[in-house]
Amino acid sequence: MQAQGKDRSSPFLNITRLIAAGAAAGVLTAAIALPAVGGAGMSAKSAMTGINLKPEDLEEPPLPERTVLQDSDGKQIAQFYYENRQSVRLDQVAPIMRTALISIEDFRFYQHGPIDVEGTARALVKNLTTGGVTQGGSSITQQYVKQVLLNSAETKEEQAAAIEATVGRKLNELRYAMAIEKKYTKDQILEKYLNIAYFGAGAHGIQAASKRFFGKPASALNLVEAATLAGAVQNPNRTDPNVSKASRDLLKARRNVVLDRMAELGKITPQEAAESKAKKLVFKDTKVSGGCEESKYPYFCLYVQNEILNNEDFGKTPKERLKLLQRGGLTIKTTIDKKMQKASEKAIKEYVSTKDKPVASQAMVVPGTGEIKAMAASRKFGGSKKKNEMSYNVVADAKHGGGGGFQQGSTAKAYTLATALEEGLKYGDGYPAPAGFTASGYGAFKDCDGKRVGDPTHEVRNSSEGGGGFKTLQTGTWGSVNTFFMRLEERVTLCKVVKLAKRIGLKRADGTKLREFETFTLGINEVDPVTVASTYAVFASRGQYCKPLAITEIKDRYGKATQYKPKCSKVMEEEVADAVSGILSGVFTKGTMREVGGIGRDAAGKTGTTDGYTAAWFAGYTPNLASAVSLGDPRGAFTHNLIGVTIGGRYYSYVYGASISGRIWKQAMIGALKGVEPTKFTPVDQERFGGCGDNCAPKPKKEKKDEQGPPDDFFDQFNRDDNGDDNGDRGRGRGRGRGGESPITPANVAPLN
């Protein structure tokens, strides 16, 4: 608060001369006897004896600065902040703003020394005679000191001490101010003050205030706007225009005081002041987005946020990491691609409505780098149940803000197929696939701890009651025949399938250990799209597993950049990965996606429908991009299935993997890869994988007329439902699990495909 004039009474002259002399020498020592005050012989006498004011260095922690998230092109997609602040240089603040602030707060700022002697003397004498701090008189330098101390306070007690009304606190301010004036130029001090000051309405610093109040940068402020903000700093809580009409009236009155003071000092003309005072108070109430709820890509934003909060590289404790995220002034460049994200969102919107209870979610990952290019869901992110919003990251695992996921269904069969190829089986090798499969004994399947998990009391069935005939790795996969894959898993052993799945990145969405039951191959584990897409990317990259990557660069507040490279490792032979792609490519032409079709370039994938139609998946890839789409009801997979449901305005008797998820995948991938040069899969090593080994199909019996037997895919018709989609296991086995937000449900219930 600036004194409005000069008091020439002798007490003030005396103290002024003493303070001036001491301040000039850098040390202030005075013994002052104040004159009698009041009447009727009463006097108030206070002494300042042995006051020793020496400059004292002030610790100036970095100001809390907002953290900005950018997409792969460097465009902002979200921000986090503890205080809404964006520091700027002094030359980025309109000259009229600087003039208005100095006029009302410290009009002699560029003339006085370390402290405003006249203003401080007047306030100090007044405070000493009253026994407390009742008058201001602080210079801009002192106000900056006060704000630094307040911002540095960690507890409520420290905050109270920073603003307590005591002479001791005021003297400390003077000591720090003397050091600040030696350390910085006047322009530097003014810049620091403008960036630290609070203006009300949640705006810290002149840039945030200018945008919050008027929707423009501080460089573009005019006279009326500058006077408004200059008036707000004295008591920003009382004059906060966001609170009430009364507070806005107080702010307008304070604005007019600033204008009058500027005219009194000759900074503007009386006419300019009068015209400006006649104008209405302007407050545009420009909303400032913060956090993932207001991000354009909320699910991806949540993923990045949790990457920071869970990584000890960004702080030893969660509290430190949150502080860095909200106050660190980081610029985080991410992997998300707006074209691919848009393609995913558009495809999902085509088939699933935001009002539907079942939710579709998709993740896109780059093979060979692990970069996450898209994360989208059909339901909007938020906390409103009335608006059918999601309050967690349905596209990712619990570690990244997600839930418990959905059972994977037959997209898990790809892991058994890959294991069989690693074990030396060939395309033409196979087994009979009857309508039902029952383990020969408890020891027929063992988990990786050697525990017997076979269940001879549990029958796995296909969708048709008829027999399936002999199935090869190719025809069994294209038809997604459950009983075939049970037999194949038994042949290569459950543990080897589990180990391969883990090796290529499979994890449960809830973070617990994978469930190792005999029906593992049918997808009993609850997973998320990011994880599944990353496992399929291993086939696309010819055996390279890359940890999902969302952040490529982080710049700190000082511009120092840290790069984050892909973390990849070789987990599968190139030839084995090629062989998997060779079979999964046929899913589009000879298998469960044949009615949907491919995408006009080399692609491979697998449908997945869980037992009881509780969830539906499609996971697939090209050499350039891998993606997974899930569909399920987060209210509880086993209590809210996908039978007799209307989704996206269409009625479905049963929802299969190809019904919705496969179609979303196809449309999204076509859009995401538009303009990207098609890349072909590496041809399969037919010498290694062609033909058959020890498990060849039996030769057809010759009939009287020596007719040839049925073609290889003849029996497929018995293993498909009416829609030609996946086969299902109708039985239920042991084990418990959880899907999405569902209550505890059977975990080794075998999915349909």
Taking residue 83's Cβ as centre, other Cβ atoms within 10 Å add up to 18
What is the rounded CA–CA span in Å between residue 679 and residue 157?
A: 64
Contacts of 390 (CB under 8 A, 6+ apart): 359, 377, 379, 380, 381, 382, 634
What is the rounded CA–CA span in Å between residue 33 and residue 8?
A: 17
DSSP-derived secondary structure letter, 452:
B
**Neighbour order of strands in the sheet with 551-555:** 76-80, 67-70, 331-334, 551-555, 561-563
What is the rounded CA–CA span in Å between residue 275 and residue 615?
A: 68
The mean pLDDT value for 509-526 works out to: 96
What is the rounded CA–CA span in Å between residue 609 and residue 411?
A: 8
- The residue that leads in pLDDT, 615 or 118, is 615
pLDDT over threshold 60, residue 47:
no
What is the rounded CA–CA span in Å between residue 395 and residue 547?
A: 16
pLDDT over threshold 90, residue 207:
yes
The residue behind tokens 């545009």 is 284
Taking each helix axis as running N to C, give the angle between helix 661-672 and helix 338-351, from 0 to 180 degrees, rounded to the nearest 10: 150
Closest CA to 369 of 99, 529, 215, 565: 565
pLDDT over threshold 70, residue 122:
no
What is the rounded CA–CA span in Å between residue 102 and residue 528?
A: 57
Residue type, 224: V
- Adjacent-strand bridge partners of 631: 360, 616
Dmax (CA) of the chain: 140
What is the rounded CA–CA span in Å between residue 189 and residue 98?
A: 12
Q: Which helix (H) or strand (E) holds 537?
A: helix 529-540
pLDDT over threshold 50, residue 38:
no
Predicted local confidence at residue 51, as pLDDT: 56
Q: CB-based burial of residue 511 (10 Å sphere; 0-12 exposed, 13-18 middle, 19+ buried)? A: exposed
Predicted local confidence at residue 127, as pLDDT: 53
What is the rounded CA–CA span in Å between residue 364 and residue 395?
A: 10
Tell me the pLDDT tens digit for each residue of 731-753.
333 333 333 333 333 344 444 45
pLDDT over threshold 90, residue 14:
no
Predicted local confidence at residue 534, as pLDDT: 98
Tell me the pLDDT tens digit for each residue of 379-425.
999 888 899 998 899 999 999 999 899 999 999 999 999 999 999 99
Q: With contact defined as beta carbons under 8 Å apart, do 439 and 490 qualify?
A: yes
What is the rounded CA–CA span in Å between residue 694 and residue 40?
A: 121
The mean pLDDT value for 518-522 works out to: 97
Residue type, 646: T
Tell me the pLDDT tens digit for each residue of 706-732.
444 444 444 344 333 333 345 444 333
Q: Is 599 left (phi over 0), alpha (psi -120 to 50) or beta?
A: alpha
What is the rounded CA–CA span in Å between residue 4 and residue 104?
A: 9
- Adjacent-strand bridge partners of 84: 203
Delineate the domains of the chain, giving CATH numbers in brackets: 1-54+108-196 (no CATH), 406-731+738-746 (3.40.710.10)
The mean pLDDT value for 43-51 works out to: 38
- The residue that leads in pLDDT, 584 or 319, is 584
User: What is the pTM assigned to this prediction?
Assistant: 0.78
Structure tokens at 483: 């009983």
What is the rounded CA–CA span in Å between residue 483 and residue 438?
A: 9
What is the rounded CA–CA span in Å between residue 130 and residue 681?
A: 87
pLDDT over threshold 80, residue 331:
yes
What is the rounded CA–CA span in Å between residue 556 and residue 554?
A: 7
Q: Which of 157-166, 279-288, 341-350: highest mean pLDDT?
A: 341-350
pLDDT band at residue 75 under the 50/70/90 scheme: very high
Lowest mean pLDDT among 220-229, 688-697, 737-746: 737-746
Lowest mean pLDDT among 156-160, 342-346, 378-382, 745-749: 745-749
pLDDT band at residue 237 under the 50/70/90 scheme: confident
Return the SS3 of 509. coil
pLDDT over threshold 50, residue 11:
no
Cα angle: 438, vertex 440, 444; to 5 degrees = 105
pLDDT band at residue 52 under the 50/70/90 scheme: low
Predicted local confidence at residue 484, as pLDDT: 96
Predicted local confidence at residue 319, as pLDDT: 85
Q: With contact defined as beta carbons under 8 Å apart, do 194 and 100 qualify?
A: no
- Adjacent-strand bridge partners of 459: 438
pLDDT band at residue 278 under the 50/70/90 scheme: very high
Looking at every residue in the chain, the average pLDDT score rounds to 85
pLDDT band at residue 287 under the 50/70/90 scheme: confident
State phi, psi for 88 to the nearest 5 degrees: -135, 160
pLDDT band at residue 137 under the 50/70/90 scheme: low
What is the rounded CA–CA span in Å between residue 447 and residue 500?
A: 13
Closest CA to 692 of 486, 419, 420, 485: 420
pLDDT band at residue 120 under the 50/70/90 scheme: low
Share of the chain above pLDDT 70, in %: 82
Predicted local confidence at residue 7, as pLDDT: 41
The mean pLDDT value for 231-247 works out to: 91
Return the SS3 of 673. coil
Q: Which helix (H) or strand (E) holds 348?
A: helix 338-351
What is the rounded CA–CA span in Å between residue 491 and residue 201?
A: 68
Predicted local confidence at residue 50, as pLDDT: 44
The gap from C-alpha 565 to its chain's centroid, in whole angstroms, comes to 19
Tell me the pLDDT tens digit for each residue of 426-449.
999 999 999 899 999 999 999 999
Q: DSSP secondary structure string, 92-144?
A: GS-HHHHHHHHHHH-TTTTTS-SS-HHHHHHHHHHHHHHTS-------HHHHH
pLDDT over threshold 80, residue 466:
no
Closest CA to 144 of 68, 220, 63: 63
β-strands 203-204, 47-48 pairing? unpaired
Predicted local confidence at residue 118, as pLDDT: 64
The mean pLDDT value for 585-594 works out to: 96
- The residue that leads in pLDDT, 395 or 319, is 395
Cα angle: 79, vertex 350, 743; to 5 degrees = 70
The gap from C-alpha 575 to its chain's centroid, in whole angstroms, comes to 37
The mean pLDDT value for 657-666 works out to: 97
